Amino acid sequence: MRRYSVFAIAREALRYHTGWERAWRAPEPKKKYDAIIVGAGGHGLATAYYLGKNFGITNVAIIEKGWLGGGNTGRNTTIIRSNYLQDPSAAIYEKARSLYETMSQDLNYNVMFSPRGLIMLAQTEHEVRGYQRTAHANALQGVATEFISPQQVKELVPIINLEGPRYPVLGGLLQKRGGTARHDAVAWGYARACSDMGMDVIQKCEVTGVRTEGGKVVGVSTTKGDIDCDKLGIVVAGHTSVLAEMAGFRLPIESVALQALVSEPIKPCMDVVVMANTVHGYMSQSDKGEMVIGGGTDAFNNYTQRGSFHHIEETVRALNETFPIISRLKMLRQWGGIVDMTGDRSPIISKTPVDGIFVNCGWGTGGFKAIPGSGWAMAELMAKGHSPLAEEFHMYRFREGKFIDESVAAGVAH
Amino acid sequence: MLTLQCPYCGVDAEETELQGGGEAHLKRFGPGSNDDDFEGYLFLRENQKGIHFERWRHAYGCGKWFLAARHTNTLEVFGTYPAQSTEPPQHIKDAISAKLPGWKWGNFS
Ligand SMILES: Cc1cc2nc3c(=O)[nH]c(=O)nc-3n(C[C@H](O)[C@H](O)[C@H](O)COP(=O)(O)OP(=O)(O)OC[C@H]3O[C@@H](n4cnc5c(N)ncnc54)[C@H](O)[C@@H]3O)c2cc1C
Ligand SMILES: [Zn+2]
């Protein structure tokens, strides 16, 4: 693989950009792999990447029914933060956030990580207490966050209206090294690095069956024929239940639509990410100038990658009071993705009842921020059989009552 | 927008009038039941890409709970029926079979 660098750009500029090579190969599947990952979203690709990088396992295929990054990874609003309440969450999300800091260098691919700072607004007394508690928990977990006053919020976000009649801003939980990254680039960067290690990223190939013998996985059936493997990682977000059914087990997951939208581009006016969980909306400004807006999930099981329009309206209406300047903005695009929700709003990274099958899912509305940490843990689990980071995220925690309850910290979808 | 006919008041209710209530026909397992049943009742839900039976409340209408059969990938509604039903009515099952031959959901098919 030829490295990207300023010299490469100069060289190519002098020869009309004819020398760029393809970022990744487009191979046909082999008969057999040591490990197959189903789903070329961020989590699947990161899993494959760390299998190779940390454990030297490179006879790996990543199988994707659509195009890589075309699932939730390419549909999300790219908020990155690690200000969670529970210790296992703080550990894996902060691992992920710290890996984002050096991801561009690590992958030799500009993922445009922008630790511009992130504020979660406290707009009720209850939220004030909740976020103060989170700030204390984060201090003990080694995650840098602080609770700031309304005046400090105003300094960071001049366009905010502190005195909303219904929900005045009473303070905020600030994570200075939270922010955003370019979602496609994360998928593309990992894919390029995986391909470079000799792994096969196979697109437009749907897994239609999981083959087992004597309680152990032996391979998958796909639209490009049967492919064998010793280990199988299921990393398909909203389609987790469909794959689990093929493999013969159930998971505590429901699939629902989550939507987002962007406005027409405007001049730079907000250089932090702001989340308003009480009114259910959040907003950041993209490098192109668009205001990127998201809110809550739709209310019913859905696989259509489309959501209900009134939810979009509710989200924008909710943000209007806190950000009066958006009331005249035209909205450009709106889209949806199918997110995989668990009961405690925490993910599942786990062995399964079938020997050799591992599952990574349940990231729901907030898994983009976790991609590198999740891949790191999932690779370790698949390679070694256990991973400290994934320890508590196993699928049996529900029946054991060992929830990792983040429904408070993740009051809004992001 | 999703539209469901309320089987009580007969109104074609738009989604904004309704409140979703999750999976229908759940059988309750209380204290004293075994771990598998208890886990299934509390946490494991049908989540098919295909047919789904679910609870809805005509929240901004007559206020009643009812049940609906819906396709999760086309959003086609096969019918709605009263919340007291312990099983989907035959005509709804037939309508589903016409579109999804061999369908299976929980104990129903
Ligand atoms: C609108 C929206 C906004 C969001 N905002 C944020 C945010 O701001 N911050 C944040 O951290 N998270 C956010 N999220 C959540 C985040 O996008 C997801 O948690 C994350 O991208 C999941 O990544 P993944 O790799 O697990 O899944 P995906 O990216 O969905 O990848 C799964 C892949 O599996 C493939 N697949 C499925 N079935 C099969 C099959 N049978 N065979 C082969 N391939 C298959 C799919 O095509 C898909 O490409 C948002 C999500 C949405 C929808
Ligand atoms: Zn009614």
Residue A58 and residue A47: Cα distance in Å, rounded? 11
The rounded distance, in Å, linking the Cα atoms of A382 and A349 is: 10
Number of Cβ atoms within 10 Å of the Cβ of A33: 24
- Beta bridge partners, B66, equal B56, B82
Helix (H) or strand (E) holding B13: strand B12-14
Q: Please name every residue paired with A283 in a beta bridge, in sequence order, or none if there are none.
A: A274, A293
Is the Cβ–Cβ distance between A282 and A123 less than 8 Å?
Answer: no
Q: What is the 3-state secondary structure (H, E, C) of chain A?
A: CCCCCHHHHHHHHHCCCCCCCCCCCCCCCCCEEEEEEECCCHHHHHHHHHHHHHHCCCCEEEECCCCCCCCHHHHCCCEECCCCCCHHHHHHHHHHHHHHHCHHHHHCCCCCCECCCEEEEECCHHHHHHHHHHHHHHHHHCCCCEEECHHHHHHHCCCCCCCCCCCCCCEEEEECCCEECCHHHHHHHHHHHHHHCCCEEECCCCEEEEEEECCEEEEEEECCEEEEEEEEEECCHHHHHHHHHHHCCCCCCEEEEEEEEEEEECCCCCCCEEEECCCCEEEEECCCCEEEEEEEEEEEECCCCCCCHHHHHHHHHHHHHHCHHHHHCCEEEEEEEEEEECCCCCCEEEECCCECEEEEECCCCCCHHHHHHHHHHHHHHHHHCCCCCCHHHCCCHHHHCCCCCCCCCCCCCC
Domain membership of residue B25 (yes or no) is yes
The residue type at A199 = M
**CATH number of domain containing B28:** 3.30.2270.10
**CA nearest neighbour of A217 among A349, A37, A399, A28:** A37
Put simply, the chain A residues between 41 and 100 with a CB less than 8 A from any chain B CB are: none
CB contact under 8 A, A255 and B20: no
Q: Cα separation of A267 and A383, whole Å?
A: 48
pLDDT of residue B1: 84
Distance B10 CA to ligand 2 centre (A): 6
| Domain annotation covers residue B108 | no
Interface-testing mutation among B18, B38, B47, B49, with chain A (most A C-beta atoms within 10 A):
B47
Distance of CA B4 to the CA centre of its chain: 12
A309 touches chain B (CB under 8 A): yes
Is-contact A63 A222, C-beta < 8 A?
Answer: yes
How many percent of chain B have pLDDT more than 90? Answer: 97
Domain assignment present for residue B104? The answer is no
Q: Is the ipTM here above 0.85?
A: yes
pTM for the whole structure: 0.96
Those of residues 178-237 in A touching chain B at CB distance below 8 A are none
Residues near A15 by Cβ (< 8 Å), separated by ≥ 6? none
Q: In angstroms, rounded to a whole number, what is the distance separating the alpha carbons of residues A274 and A85? A: 19
Q: Provide the shortest C-alpha distance from residue A344 to chain B (in Å).
A: 10
- Burial label for A23, CB within 10 Å (0-12, 13-18, 19+), is middle
Q: How many CB atoms lie within 10 A of CB A119?
A: 25
Residue type, A286: S
Full strand arrangement of the beta sheet holding B51-57: B19-23, B51-57, B65-71, B77-82
Contacts A361 to B, Cβ<8 Å:
none
With beta carbons under 8 A apart, name residues in chain B contacting A253: 45, 47
Residue B20: pLDDT over 70 = yes
Contact at CB, A301 and B1, closer than 8 angstroms: no
Q: Is A310 on the interface with B (CB under 8 A)?
A: yes
∠ CA(A357), CA(A361), CA(A367), 5° rounding?
145
- Per-residue pLDDT tens, chain A, 414 aa: give them: 889 999 999 999 999 999 999 999 999 999 999 999 999 999 999 999 999 999 999 999 999 999 999 999 999 999 999 999 999 999 999 999 999 999 999 999 999 999 999 999 999 999 999 999 999 999 999 999 999 999 999 999 999 999 988 899 999 999 999 999 999 999 999 999 999 999 999 999 999 999 999 999 999 999 999 999 999 999 999 999 999 999 999 999 999 999 999 999 999 999 999 999 888 899 999 999 999 999 889 889 999 999 999 999 999 998 998 999 999 999 999 999 999 999 899 999 999 999 999 999 999 999 999 999 999 999 999 999 999 999 999 999 999 999 998 875 544 455
Question: Rounded to the nearest 5°, which phi and psi values hold at A232?
Answer: -130, 130
pLDDT digits (tens, 9 = 90+) for B38-78: 999 999 999 999 999 999 999 999 999 999 999 999 999 99
Q: Could you tell me the domains of chain A?
A: 34-106+182-252+344-393 (3.50.50.60), 118-176+255-342 (3.30.9.10)
Distance CA A70, CA A239 (A): 13
Q: Which pLDDT score is estimated for A409?
A: 52
What integer pLDDT is reported at residue A407 of this predicted model?
A: 73
Would B107 be classed as within a structural domain? no
Give the distance (Å) from ligand 1 centre to CA of residue A65: 13
Q: B39 lies in which domain range?
A: 3-99
Decide if B86 is inside a domain: yes
**CB-CB neighbours of B102 under 10 Å:** 6
Domain count, chain B: 1
Residue B105 maps to a domain: no
Mutate to test the interface with B, among A246, A256, A301, A348 (most CBs of B within 10 A): A301
Query: CA-based Rg of chain A, rounded to a whole angstrom?
Result: 21
CA distance A227 to B79: 41
**pLDDT higher than 60, residue B108:** yes
The half-sphere exposure of A358 on its side-chain side, counting CA atoms within 13 A, is 30
Residue of A50, A45, A48 whose CA lies nearest to A33: A48
CA proximity to A393, closest of A344, A356, A353, A354? A344
